[in-house]
Amino acid sequence: MKDLENKVALITGAGSGIGRAIAVLYALEGAKTVVSDIDEKGGQETLTLIKSKGGEAIFIKADTSVADENRKLVEQTVRQFGGLHIAVNNAGIAGPLSPLADYPIDGWDRVIRVNLSGVFYGMHYQIPAMIASGGGSIVNMASILGKVGTKGSPAYVAAKHGVIGLTEAAALEYAGSGIRINAIGPGYIKTPLLNILDDATLNQVKALHPMGRLGEPEEVAELSLWLNSEKASFVTGSYYNVDGGYLAQ
């Protein structure tokens, strides 16, 4: 039996990168998969990829930084597939690169809305739907920068630290309701978020990892699969980094 047989899974930010890898893997593991992204073109490409591999999925466009769009996303998921058992709150942006005193206010607001408030909004509507479905599991995408800082990305660092705290608080609140909630902290992964870096900077980023390379989206997807499967049935309120040794330094 496949790990996610007869489950309904919702993945945000599934139009590219880590989200796409997760959506494809979940569909191949038997989940009825909702691919969601603000990028309709990317989302449709993920949907086509899933269907080409024999998976069952739909695409729903949504901006997770808007509370009501999260509500509609969950409602459409339940209408289409009859419930919700799994969610991955993965949608995120890098934001501007600048020291704090020069950081643009609108950039701060946007990063916090997408990377932190979007996770809160997602869980706010996902959890009741999961309770109604008999229980479920959520993975929130944090970052290695949810545990440590870096120069030039104060909004991103603050948001990802917040995601870990939010995950822990929610896990405690719903542990007795059949809902498990965990966070993942990827290192630097080969995704479109790194397209803003030139080759020299990219090589410097690779060197930050003791393994001497960037991670692959599929490596993050495999960890999320385990956390959202019954194999991790006693795991909640935890943070798992997948970072090539970055945080061990």
Ordered domains of the chain (ranges, CATH): 8-248 (3.40.50.720)
Q: Which residue has the higher pLDDT, 53 or 191?
A: 53
Determine the Cα–Cα distance for residues 78 and 104; give it in Å rounded to an integer.
39
Query: Does 156 participate in catalysis according to the annotation?
Result: yes
Q: Shortest CA distance to 218 belongs to which of 17, 10, 14, 53?
A: 17
> According to the model, what pLDDT value does residue 50 have?
98
> What contacts 238, CB < 8 A, 6 or more positions away?
171, 182, 183
Q: What is the pLDDT of residues 46-73, one digit of tens each?
A: 999 999 999 999 999 999 999 999 999 9
Rounded CA-CA distance 114/171 in Å is 21
Give the C-alpha distances (Å, rounded to integers) separating 206 from 148, 188, 217.
17, 8, 15
| Three-state DSSP class for residue 140 | strand
Which pLDDT does position 209 carry in this prediction? 97
Decide if pLDDT at 98 tops 90: yes
Buried b (16+ CB within 10 A) or exposed e, 41-55: ebbebbbebbeeeeb
What is d(CA 220, CA 23) in angstroms, rounded to the nearest whole number? 12
Cα(67)–Cα(176) distance, rounded to whole angstroms? 26
Contact 88, 12 (CB under 8 A): yes
Q: Please write the tens of the pLDDT for every residue from 13-53.
A: 999 999 999 999 999 999 999 999 999 999 999 999 999 99
Catalytic residue among 26, 103, 125, 156, which? Answer: 156
Residues 159, 146: Cα–Cα separation, whole Å: 8
Convert the pLDDT of each residue in 146-178 to its tens digit.
999 999 999 999 999 999 999 999 999 999 999
As a whole number, mean pLDDT of residues 229-245 equals: 98
Structure confidence by residue, pLDDT tens digits, 199-209 = 899 999 999 99
pLDDT above 80: residue 193:
no
Model confidence at 124, in pLDDT bands (50, 70, 90)? Answer: very high
Quick one: pLDDT at residue 192?
81
